Structure 1
Amino acid sequence: MDNTLAYIDQGSFLALRALGRGPLIQFTWIYDRPIDLQGLRRFHANLGFGLLGRRIERSPLPFGRDRWVAAPGPAAIEIAAEDRRREDVWLWADERVRVPIDPQAGPSWHLGVQPLTNGGAAVTLVVSHSVGDAMAIHMAISDAVTGVRRDLGYPPPGSRTRARSVREDARQTVRDVPDMARAVASAARVARAERENLATSAKSGSKQRGRGTAEQIVVPNATVFIDLEHWDERAKSLNGTSNALFAGFGARLGSLLGRVGDDGFVRLSLPVSERAPGDTRANALTEATVVADPAKVVADLAELRRDIKRALTALAESPNELLGPLALVPLTPAPLVRRLEGMVQQVGSPIGCSNLGEFAPEVNRPDGTDADYFAARLLEPKVTTKVLDRMGGSLFLGCTRIHGRMSVSVTSWVPGGTNTRAALRDAVGQALADMALTGTVE
């Protein structure tokens, strides 16, 4: 079993170490009735196997690739001592995101329960993105609910002596030399192709440096629940698909939040899963990009549907060139990552739209029974308002189809704007109305 981190996972972990922060994925279930704690404890124990039953062990070589080692996760579920109101679930979920996670020292994930005053309960699982992306977590949850305990063959922590680690990691680096050579060539091609964007990004980041405060926050967020039959009917009436309607909703919301280019279009960034059976990478992802007219999507999705299809087809035929230089990640010093992060600003105010698709029914059953509501969110604790302003703000949407509902999560930061949960919910409600959609915004 090769337990060496894939280049994309090495890059994720390098960024986490260099910046002192990293994205987390949060799955939250809400029950309108008491949960089965015994069933939830079985689920918790089973999560300590497979893709979540691991953490990262550093190489002793500064240029060596790190490795996965077995780790069962936290010893217990964290159950809140006092009940809270149903409407406070997402405030509690934000608090859970702030609970420390460390994919190196552990734990790389944690599970919490919040009893509710209405007799129900909320359950939330928070995972470091350096250990698993949303589809990896989906697989781990599916296994845990059904009682499958996968042994991926990872060694226990500290099983290699330092001398053995140096020898093995040095040999691995030699084997990686051809990959590094190809990465250098790829980096040169990317630099040529993206010369104008890179220059604009660096210049914008330089101008923004020093503005704002260094207050750490969890960015304002909202969650929307929409009846699945209503969602699909609206997509069909707009000549679109579920995916096109989600992207159109993101485009419309982006226009309301000021993420429109000088040409009147918005830029949508669409994460695409490459995960196949047996894939043990933490992050099996690539990305497609499309532009959309936020004025058109409210009346017809046919053009956006076509553009998304073309972008996905092109991506399947020709891999994302921006991922080509990843083999150089082990050679990249952390101070350089910090310096680049301070110089670069996003170009084109991208809107992240991550469609996770149809989730398996068992993913909605952490205690063995169906939850009434489910949502998946991407958040980055410890990010500061200064960083968010320098980046030009952010807008990220994620969606899942599960238990008869479309669940859409939104996180947003607008430089100089009214960055509150209430303001974001108002914008989300307006975007729903513009798209002639009816849903519950929480």
Structure 2
Amino acid sequence: MTGADNTIDLGDQASFTGLRALGRGPLIQYTWIYDRPVDLDGLRRLHRNLGSGGLLGRRIERSRLPFGRHRWVRSTGPLDLDIATETRPVADVNDWANERGYVPVDPEHGPPWHLGVQPLDSGGAAVSLVVSHTIGDGLAISEAVADAVNGTPRDLGYPVAASRPRRAALREDIRQTVRSVPSWFRAVVGAAKIARDQKSDLAASAKSVTAPVSSGITTPVTPPFVTAVLDIDEWDQRAKALGGTSNVLFAAFAARVGQVVGRLGDGGRAMLSFPVNIRTEGDTRGNALSTITVMADPEKVSTDLTELRGDIKRELAGVDEWTRMMLTPLPLTPLVPKFAVRRLEKMVLKVGKPIGCSNLGRFPAAFNRPDGTEAEHFHARLIEPGLTPVDLERLNGHLFVVSCQTPTSIVLTVTAWEPGEANSKAALADSIRKALAELGLTGTVD
């Protein structure tokens, strides 16, 4: 494939604009754990293939115009694997994963991702892949990894950086901007309609939140995360017994964790926010996602998933219309200054206490073979290095739950931080055990 349009999607440009305005942005991390030494040659092959094409083999090149559309250009990623020289105990894997999350990635200057290996005292090893969320969402990354493992990375035909002569690039960007002008007017009308339609909801959500007293601490902090591994047959049987499905039981688990850690709104309901995959065949967007929000009763879901199942089904039925509405203002993205993005974040932060729920489902079989052989365990999580206690207080705290499936297991990863609480890994692990028990589930909580 050659000569492909390398203009960045407006949603991805919005992600990039937010990253630059706030000075931080979300990353996605996958961690695989082997009970035996990894094949370093196999991992180097994965590393090369990730950088030779596909959705991870690229980075952003800015427009010559301050209000122009950015473009994708080729990027091979970092020069090599990052292999630790000293072994560590298996119990330290999550601490090591946190450290890898602070190794810089950048969707513009690169590298947009990195791959690290940590030998373990037990004779095994851990492998970590960290990717800028602007480059790809969970599904995009998993597909890129599977293609790289199989040796079939996609050729997107992107040019090398700075391949357009300056004057030619300027003329091309001006023409593209002029063609965009009519969409700006439509976007203004659409944005005004959304503001009117959502005004009452925003006001109600803002009133339901009591602003925490600020700690004044501006030193970055790492919210604790804990993983839980459950037998998939037990999980599916419990979902059926409660009148739900695997996806609905995952939502119920998130609601119960929210209740245990005290992250509920008025009426004792949990605000569950789900990213919804809208990726199509051959899609080159980094983030092909929409969202739905469901208010769940954490008491009811312990004994009956019927109501929650119906609520989720109803929201999913309306996701296409919701997506079209929310995409309407996106043509204005190149025109939005950084100060406006920062102000918008402050407005959004007043809206309730959302619980992020990302159900990644079952990955392609090759995904769990980063070195060419099957890993014993893996987990996924969303991280945002640079967050401080003050930021997290403005966010009204943070709770994000990720679910992945293997042929035999459900793997849950929970990241949490609540203002004024201990925010320790041990306390979070206890909360997860309690939530599982309340749902009639058992699992290995690390």
TM range (shorter): over 0.9
Query: Once the 2 structures are TM-superposed, how far is the Cα of residue 117 of structure 1 from its aligned partner?
Result: 0.3
Note if contact 1:205-1:391 (Cα within 8 Å) is conserved in structure 2.
no
1:401 is matched with: 405
In terms of mean alpha carbon deviation, does 197-206 or 391-400 score higher? 197-206
In terms of mean alpha carbon deviation, does 295-304 or 310-319 score higher? 310-319
TM-score of the superposition, structure 1-length normalised? 0.96
Query: Once the 2 structures are TM-superposed, how far is the Cα of residue 182 of structure 1 from its aligned partner?
Result: 2.1
**Among 308, 327, 331, the residue aligned to 1:304:** 308
1:27 is the counterpart of 2:33: no
- Residue 52 of structure 1 aligns to a residue in which SS? coil
1:57-96, aligned counterparts within 5 Å?
Answer: 57-96=61-100
Query: Once the 2 structures are TM-superposed, how far is the Cα of residue 314 of structure 1 from its aligned partner?
Result: 1.3
Distance of 2:435 and 2:162 partners within structure 1 = 52
**Among 310, 323, 326, the residue aligned to 1:322:** 326
1:257 is matched with: 261
Query: Once the 2 structures are TM-superposed, how far is the Cα of residue 305 of structure 1 from its aligned partner?
Result: 1.0
**Among 186, 190, 193, the residue aligned to 1:189:** 193
Distance of 1:251 and 1:233 partners within structure 2 = 19
| Structure 1: runs of 5 or more not aligned | none
TM-score of the superposition, structure 2-length normalised? 0.96
Query: What is the identity percentage for the equivalent residue pairs of Structure 1 and Structure 2?
Result: 56
Q: Could you report, residue by residue, the CA deviation over 1:356-414 in whole angstroms, capped at 9, with x for unpaired residues? A: 11111111000111100011110000111101101111111111112411111111110
Distance 1:153 1:206, change over 3 A: farther
- Residue 50 of structure 1 aligns to a residue in which SS? coil
2:140 is matched with: 136
- Residue 239 of structure 2 aligns to a residue in which SS? helix
1:40 is the counterpart of 2:54: no
Q: Could you report, residue by residue, the CA deviation over 1:156-178 in whole angstroms, capped at 9, with x for unpaired residues? A: 00101221221111111122223
AA paired with 1:108?
Answer: P
1:37-436, aligned counterparts within 5 Å?
Answer: 37-48=40-51, 49-199=53-203, 212-319=216-323, 321-436=325-440
Note if contact 1:4-1:67 (Cα within 8 Å) is conserved in structure 2.
yes
Distance of 1:75 and 1:328 partners within structure 2 = 36
Distance of 1:95 and 1:78 partners within structure 2 = 12
Query: Once the 2 structures are TM-superposed, how far is the Cα of residue 267 of structure 1 from its aligned partner?
Result: 1.2
Query: Once the 2 structures are TM-superposed, how far is the Cα of residue 286 of structure 1 from its aligned partner?
Result: 0.2
Distance of 2:180 and 2:212 partners within structure 1 = 38
Distance of 1:429 and 1:206 partners within structure 2 = 28
Distance of 1:210 and 1:197 partners within structure 2 = 26
Query: Once the 2 structures are TM-superposed, how far is the Cα of residue 11 of structure 1 from its aligned partner?
Result: 0.4
1:10 is matched with: 13
| Structure 2: runs of 5 or more not aligned | none
Query: Once the 2 structures are TM-superposed, how far is the Cα of residue 337 of structure 1 from its aligned partner?
Result: 1.4
Note if contact 2:209-2:352 (Cα within 8 Å) is conserved in structure 1.
no
Aligned length: 442
- Residue 338 of structure 1 aligns to a residue in which SS? helix
Distance 1:434 1:320, change over 3 A: farther
